[in-house]
Amino acid sequence: MGLFTRNKSNKKPIIKQILELIPNSILQSSIAKHKSDKFCSKYKTYDQLVSQIPDS
């Protein structure tokens, strides 16, 4: 089980739980590699990621 453990009494929204599974280092290295935030002032890559995750 190791990396992915499930806690049934978790009070966090499901979207927050999904986002916590994505390591910040992977996201930051991908942003730096592709320079996806280069010309952004407000709507950053992380915000785009959050908006693309469906709310169920």
pLDDT for 2-16, tens place per residue? Answer: 566 666 667 888 888
Amino acid (1-letter code) at residue 27: L
First to last CA, the chain: 25
**Per the confidence metrics, is the pTM higher than 0.75?**
no
* pLDDT value of position 55: 66
DSSP collapsed to 3 states, 26-49: HHHHHHHHHCCCCCCCCCCHHHHH
Give the domain ranges of the chain.
Answer: 14-52
Enter the tokens of residue 52: 């693309």
Task: Please say whether the beta carbons of 53 and 18 come within 8 A.
Answer: yes
